Amino acid sequence: MLGRIYHLLLKELLQLRRDRSARFRLLIPPLIQMLLFGYAATFEVFNVGMVVLDQDQTQESRALVASFLHSSRFKLATVTSNRAQVQDAVETSTAQVGIVVPPGFAGLLRAGWASPVQVLVDGTNSNTALIALGYVNQICAGFGQIYALDLAQRTGRALGKPMVNVQLQERYWYNPNLNSRWFFIPGLIGTLGLVSIVNLTAFAIVREREVGTLEQLLVTPIQPVEFIIGKTLPFFLIGLFEVSIVAVFGMLWFDVPFKGNPLVLLLGICLFLLSGLAIGLLISTVCKTQQQAFSSNFFVLNPMFILSGFSFPIASMPPALQWLTYLNPLRYFLVVVRATYLKGVGLEVLWPQMLGMAGLGLSLLTLAVLRLHKSLD
């Protein structure tokens, strides 16, 4: 048995050695995708186009506008002279945010009263709109605090009624600077690894069927279980090598810290690859051609990405979809890889995720073996 598995493993590795394009696809595209996603995927918003209408034209109103312009979050798209131009700039997407400083803005501030400022936000992209509005609130709040302190110092007294104030002392654990790349890069290790391992495994048996070598293998003494092991073991080793390269590259290039135990991460990667191999085998037993396998990959992988928590919080999903995420091995792996990278936790915390991936991997692999046995018969 071991001899037959060894020769089948050797056959797959020799075939990969002869296929230069396959070797290129295994290494270069994942690294390029890591670079592209690492720089492009972020929750932060910079250089939001802003249109300004200053109807007050005072030192205070100009100082407020300057506080926006000195921030890297906003850039001045245009300055207008009436409200119609502000509305037109937002409607035509010339600017995403419109700031209108009304007449009497400075007078209210000097009297110690709150002074309103109108903000128009393009809500077409709701995520960007909410983040930009949060930046507007922070800048206005900071301007108000600085102005109130300066006014109290100049007048020698605090204006207005005393207010009870709750002061927040923020402490961000595990990611002190809230760097979004520290969140995305570990997640990319799982998503890119899943794409590669599922594609490799799904096309393996389908390609054997198309070129006619599957029938030749069937007349040999090899058993279905041996055939499965011989076909998946090389892809497991290839996937382990590829995920390791992507993980090291992402960590060194983007300066993402690794605080955990490498052996815990290695165990998580192995269990995750086991599930990916099983998914690829299931696809290969259903499809007859490589075109069908390619289409099936999109049908399977896209929902897995959406339901994994990579970009969208699972807690925000409907309850039915939240339950469905427990059938997704990527959901468990993202918890493992982010926790080992940023928190440095071990198996005493991550054992439920490890157990979930192990259960899914063994169940899917058993189903794939039974399905392949039936298709071979």
pLDDT tens digits for range 143-162: 888 887 777 777 665 554 44
* Cross-strand partners of 49: 75
**What is the percent of the chain where pLDDT is above 90?**
17
From CA 321, how far away is CA 306, in angstroms rounded? 10
Residue type present at position 335: V
**329 pLDDT above the threshold of 90:** yes
Residue type present at position 109: L
pLDDT score at 328: 92
Question: Where is pLDDT greater, at 191 or 296?
Answer: 191
Confirm if 177 and 204 have CB atoms less than 8 A apart.
no
**253 pLDDT above the threshold of 50:** yes
Residue 91 to residues 14, 52, 76, 127, 143, Cα–Cα distance (Å): 60, 15, 16, 18, 28
Q: What is the token pair recorded at 92?
A: 């035509």
Average pLDDT over residues 116-127: 86
Residue type present at position 103: P
Among 59-68, 179-188, 230-239, 345-354, the range scoring the smallest mean pLDDT is 230-239
Mean residue pLDDT of the chain comes to 81
**71 pLDDT above the threshold of 70:** yes
From CA 1, how far away is CA 21, in angstroms rounded? 32
From CA 195, how far away is CA 30, in angstroms rounded? 9
Give, as one character, the DSSP assignment of residue 48: E
Task: Give tens-digit pLDDT for 77-114.
Answer: 888 888 888 888 888 888 889 999 999 988 888 887 88
Please provide residue 18's backbone torsions phi and psi, each rounded to the nearest 5 degrees. Answer: -75, -25
User: For the chain, which domains are there?
Assistant: 2-41+177-376 (no CATH), 48-155 (3.40.1710.10)
Task: Give tens-digit pLDDT for 160-219.
Answer: 444 445 556 667 788 887 788 888 888 888 888 888 888 877 777 777 777 666 666 666
Altogether, the residues listed in the chain come to a count of 377
Question: Which residue shows structure tokens 């309103």?
Answer: 116
